[in-house]
Amino acid sequence: MKRRDCLKSLAALAGGAVLAGCEPEQAVNRNGAILQVPEFSTERLHTALDGLLAAYENRGIPVGDTLLPPLDEAQLRTACDWFPQELPPEIVALYGWRGGQEKDAWESEHPFWFRDVSFSTIVRARDDYQSILSSYGLFPGDRSLLKSAFPFAAFNGAWYVLPAGGHPFNASLQRPVVSVFEGIDLYYYSLEQMIATCTEWVSHPQYSPDGSLPHETELAIWRKHNPGIFVY
């Protein structure tokens, strides 16, 4: 499907996609199925990111040329002194893999997409954080989540953020990936699940150069890696 064609219809379903009241490291969808959410692993995330990079380059899309070198943890923490929370380990690991995409997606011939948002540098993340708080963050019910959420990917007024504090979704999902675009919605159970989802999309035979897939194919892959997240 084309980028964002179904975002609102999917997002409207996301808020109730998982229910509270389950054991730690488990998520229960509307149908009662239990999902095991593994503990985060830096090594596993880096392997998954290498796989996504390879999936793009196997299609002749040289996204590696657009990525900056990794940041070590000390560099990252210094560069993120604007963020009011302790950096989540997923963010430390993500920027320890690469330092973001050198140019904004509008200026890059081959952006490193996470579906339809691209990997932000720390400088753009800082600017995006302020933009989010000055728009969506004006709503009191959303400000607490957004003030403690790190924006790691963006495009054209849409952001993916990772909560570093509390969030209103299933308590067993420690740090889910949240979409901020015409609403605030749960999109992936974790950063690792997001990368696995994106890699299967890009690797699919029906994936087109414009980054689209048939709607049902995209949704089936989304649900495979994040069971029950969009339940009609």
CATH number at residue 62: 3.40.1580.10
List Cα–Cα distances, 24 to 7, 57, 94, in angstroms. 29, 37, 24
Query: What would the pLDDT profile of 147-189 be if each residue is shown by its tens digit?
Result: 999 999 999 999 999 999 989 988 789 999 999 999 999 999 9
How many domains is the chain partitioned into structurally? 1
Is 156 among the domain residues? Answer: yes
The per-residue DSSP string of 11-47 comes to HHHHTTSEES---TTEEEETT--EEE-PPP-HHHHHH
* Residue 207, in any domain of the structure: yes
Q: Looking at the predicted structure, is the pLDDT value of residue 9 above 60?
A: no
Please report the pLDDT score of residue 81 as a whole number: 97
Q: Is residue 183 part of a domain?
A: yes
What local confidence, expressed as pLDDT, does residue 199 receive? Answer: 98
Mean of pLDDT values over 187-209? 96
Answer whether residue 232 is part of any domain: no
- Residues forming beta bridges with residue 28, ordered by sequence position: 19, 34
Q: Is residue 35 part of a domain?
A: yes
Report pLDDT digits (tens) over 14-49: 333 332 323 334 444 444 445 567 899 999 999 999
pTM, two decimal places:
0.85
The answer to the question of residue 1 being in a domain is no
Is it the case that residue 92 has pLDDT exceeding 90? yes
Is residue 200 a part of any domain in this protein? yes
The domain of 177 spans 7-225
Local structure of residue 136 (DSSP, 8 states): G
Residue 2 lies in a domain: no
pLDDT digits (tens, 9 = 90+) for 98-148: 999 988 777 777 889 999 999 999 999 999 999 999 999 999 989 999 999
Residues 136 and 145: beta-carbon distance below 8 Å: no
Q: Torsions phi, psi of 113, nearest 5?
A: -80, 140
